[in-house]
């Protein structure tokens, strides 16, 4: 091989190497298959729509450790909503609550704490003693409380979840899947957004003892304000994170990472992937005209159809130009009189064969019924139009 050919060959090999390197370092945005995580099980969910942006072994039931407390907190908030509890209620501390092992808010047997203090202790420092105190206060015993936990799990639609206790401490047959965890977290945040004000507190003081919030995302990841950490030997290091950047709030779940550092790294990478690879776009604004429909015996022969509300979807940034929309009319012909805002069909937004949104379309304006002579005149016009079409063909 002469030197000229060798130099050309070397140059092409160098270019190819650069391309391959860049494709590895900067994977294609929006393609979930290009992203990987060290967590044994993980999921990333958009809070507004519930759309899953990434998942790995997300339906496998696994020990959730203290992530269990998301359900414990939900039941606590629902009791407040029903009026069965108040923030300033005095909660008795039993011997069982006092002796509960693991993370604690340092409750003392025979003394009382407010309902608000109990909720804060569970949220910020993952207080196991607080969970028992809450359970006994609301339902008399932890066993009765756990029955409510499992009942609510079924009602919310959690299919790979079974609770054996209110804390998440190791217990045979106690499990949740990553998908169920994300679904539960979304339900809690959506119905009780004030939970994030509590979960984002950096520290909690009770009984003159101050403890730091265990969530490593707080103060290290932009927009992070929740939600729950977990660890046991069997569960590994787990974390449900949530963060909001701009108009987008995401929920990340990582289960069974090896240590604190890997848990934080896996959660950060997952949230970064979501915020950098996806965006909301408005396909149509409320009132946009998307189609028209013929009108029989009306003063107008056709009437426009409008989108009833804004059509906003979450999509991979790289696939913005691949969105498809289609209109399905309820009828091809309406009969006058026609009233504005009458439902007339639907508009569907699709990407890669998946329906991202489907919204109602409606009549944009009133169409009055034509007079007898107007109907005759329209019939004559339509007759000659049809003749013209036949002649033209």
Cα 259 from Cα 285, distance rounded (Å): 47
Asked whether residue 81 is assigned to any structural domain, the reply reads yes
Cα 274 from Cα 71, distance rounded (Å): 25
247 and 299 together in one domain: no
- What is the pLDDT, as a whole number, of residue 393? 55
Residue 145: its H or E element: helix 142-156
Asked whether residue 358 is assigned to any structural domain, the reply reads yes
Residues 282 and 310 sit within 8 Å (Cβ to Cβ): yes
Cα 199 from Cα 214, distance rounded (Å): 10
- What is the pLDDT, as a whole number, of residue 388? 62
DSSP 259: S
Asked whether residue 322 is assigned to any structural domain, the reply reads yes
Residues 174 and 164 sit within 8 Å (Cβ to Cβ): yes
Tell me the residue range of the domain where 375 lies.
285-392
233 and 323 together in one domain: no
Q: What is the CATH number of the domain that holds 344?
A: 2.60.410.10
- What is the pLDDT, as a whole number, of residue 3? 43
**227 CB neighbour count, 10 Å cutoff:** 28
**Total domains, the chain:** 2
- What is the pLDDT, as a whole number, of residue 298? 86
- What is the pLDDT, as a whole number, of residue 14? 44
Per-residue pLDDT of the chain (393 residues; tens, 9 = 90+): 444 444 445 544 444 433 333 333 333 334 444 689 999 999 999 999 999 999 999 999 999 999 999 999 999 999 999 999 999 999 999 999 999 999 999 999 999 999 999 999 999 999 999 999 999 999 999 999 999 999 999 999 999 999 999 999 999 999 999 999 999 999 999 999 999 999 999 999 999 999 999 999 999 999 999 999 999 999 999 999 999 999 999 999 999 999 999 999 999 999 999 999 999 999 999 999 999 999 988 888 899 999 989 999 999 999 988 999 999 999 999 998 999 999 999 999 999 999 999 999 999 999 998 877 666 766 776 666 666 655 555
189 and 307 together in one domain: no
266 and 318 together in one domain: no
Active-site residues, by number, are 66, 69, 126
290 and 270 together in one domain: no
Sequence-ordered strand ranges (E) for the chain: 41-46, 52-56, 90-92, 112-114, 203-206, 209-212, 224-232, 236-245, 248-257, 278-284, 289-296, 302-307, 311-316, 324-329, 333-335, 343-351, 354-363
Asked whether residue 126 is assigned to any structural domain, the reply reads yes
- What is the pLDDT, as a whole number, of residue 35? 83
Both tokens of residue 361? 């379309």
Cis peptide before 337 (omega within 30 of 0): yes
Cα 252 from Cα 65, distance rounded (Å): 16
291 and 257 together in one domain: no
Domain final residue, candidates 242, 275, 308: 275
Asked whether residue 22 is assigned to any structural domain, the reply reads no
89 and 181 together in one domain: yes
130 and 94 together in one domain: yes
Q: Rounded to whole angstroms, what are the CA distances from 173 to 60, 61, 201, 322?
A: 13, 10, 32, 45
For every residue of 271-333, DSSP letters joined together read HHHHHHHEEEEEEE-TT-EEEEEEEETBSSSEEEEEESS-EEEEEEGGGGGG-EEEEEES-SE
Q: What is the CATH number of the domain that holds 152?
A: 3.40.710.10
What is this structure's pTM?
Answer: 0.84
- What is the pLDDT, as a whole number, of residue 381? 66
Beta-sheet pairing, 333-335 with 289-296: parallel
Asked whether residue 321 is assigned to any structural domain, the reply reads yes
Asked whether residue 15 is assigned to any structural domain, the reply reads no
Asked whether residue 95 is assigned to any structural domain, the reply reads yes
Residues 67 and 228 sit within 8 Å (Cβ to Cβ): yes
């Amino acid at each position: 091989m002469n030197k000229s050919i060798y130099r050309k060959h070397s140059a092409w090999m160098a270019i190819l190497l650069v391309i391959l390197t860049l494709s590895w370092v900067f994977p294609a945005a929006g393609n979930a298959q290009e992203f990987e995580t060290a967590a044994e099980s993980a999921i990333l969910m958009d809070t507004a729509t519930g759309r899953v942006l990434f998942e790995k072994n997300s339906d496998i039931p696994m020990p959730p450790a203290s992530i269990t407390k998301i359900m414990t907190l939900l039941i606590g908030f629902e009791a407040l909503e029903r009026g069965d509890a108040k923030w300033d209620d005095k909660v008795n501390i039993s011997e069982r609550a006092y002796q509960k092992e693991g993370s604690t808010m340092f409750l003392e047997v025979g003394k009382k704490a407010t309902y608000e203090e109990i909720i804060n202790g569970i949220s910020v420092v993952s207080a196991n003693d607080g969970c028992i105190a809450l359970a006994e206060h609301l339902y008399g015993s932890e066993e009765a409380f756990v029955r409510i936990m499992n009942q609510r799990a079924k009602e919310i639609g959690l299919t790979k979840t079974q609770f054996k206790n209110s804390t998440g401490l190791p217990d045979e047959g106690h499990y949740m899947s990553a998908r169920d965890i994300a679904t539960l977290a979304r339900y809690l945040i959506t119905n009780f957004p004030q939970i994030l004000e509590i979960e984002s507190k950096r520290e909690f003081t009770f009984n003159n003892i101050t403890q730091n919030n265990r969530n490593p995302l707080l103060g290290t990841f932009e927009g992070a304000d929740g939600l729950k950490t977990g660890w046991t030997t069997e569960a590994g290091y787990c974390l449900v994170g949530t963060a909001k950047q701009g108009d987008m709030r995401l929920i990340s779940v990582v289960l069974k990472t090896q240590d604190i550092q890997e848990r934080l790294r896996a959660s950060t990478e997952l949230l970064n992937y979501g915020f950098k690879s996806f965006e909301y776009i408005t396909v149509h604004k409320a009132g946009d005209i998307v189609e028209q429909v013929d009108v029989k015996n009306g003063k107008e022969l056709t009437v426009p159809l409008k989108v009833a509300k804004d059509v906003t979807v979450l999509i991979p940034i790289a696939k913005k130009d691949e969105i498809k929309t289609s209109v399905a009319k309820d009828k091809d012909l309406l009969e006058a009189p026609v009233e504005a805002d009458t439902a007339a069909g639907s508009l569907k937004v699709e990407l890669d064969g998946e329906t991202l949104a489907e919204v109602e379309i409606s009549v944009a304006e009133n169409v009055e019924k034509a007079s007898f002579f107007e109907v005759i005149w329209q019939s004559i016009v339509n007759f000659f139009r049809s003749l013209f079409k036949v002649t033209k063909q």
